Amino acid sequence: MKKLILSIPVFLILVGILFIYSEYKTRNFVDAFITSSDNLEEVVQGITIWGENEEHGQSTLAILKPGDAHYEEVLAALSGWEVKRAIIKDKSAQTIYQLDLANDAKPMDPLNIQIATNGTLYLHGYEYKLVKGNSIEEIIAIAK
């Protein structure tokens, strides 16, 4: 009876550790939030990058459609992103950019990703840290 009583908390602790590990482990951005990396080109039909502009406030920095010169390069850069859920919230003031990924299957519901210059992504109400891949400034430079 004592073994059963002691094994229940151990089991609950192991389940908790497994849950925390799966939530906070590093994962590929495309596989976790968009689709499989193999059919990314089929799912994403357009990319819009928004950013801050001193003169106009929020402005469009780039609009890419399939067939554009740098579209494939930007998709490849996004495929290389590795993200990890942030444990500690970063409240420092950063320039925020927004990536809108259009999908023809859901034209009124693009995936909106806000990303700060320090590599913090804001997605689905959570913060993620960019662990590996091109920064947003590098992606903007590729898109232009």
Query: pLDDT tens digits for 36-74?
Result: 666 777 778 888 888 875 555 667 777 888 888 888 888
Residue 8 lies in a domain: no
pTM of the model: 0.73
Q: Identify the pLDDT of residue 98.
A: 86
Query: What would the pLDDT profile of 11-40 be if each residue is shown by its tens digit?
Result: 888 888 887 777 778 888 888 877 666 677
Residue 112 lies in a domain: yes
Residue 60 lies in a domain: yes
| CA pair distance 121, 129, nearest whole angstrom | 6
Helix, strand, coil share of the chain (percent; to 5): 35, 30, 30
Query: What would the pLDDT profile of 93-144 be if each residue is shown by its tens digit?
Result: 678 888 888 876 666 667 888 888 888 888 888 888 888 888 888 888 888 7
Residue 138 lies in a domain: yes
Residue 2 lies in a domain: no
Furthest CA-CA distance within the chain: 73
Residue 16 lies in a domain: no
Residue 11 lies in a domain: no
Q: Identify the pLDDT of residue 95.
A: 81
Q: Identify the pLDDT of residue 105.
A: 66
Domains held by the chain: number: 1
| CA pair distance 98, 125, nearest whole angstrom | 14
Percent of the chain scoring above 90 in pLDDT? 0
Domain with 36 in it: 27-143
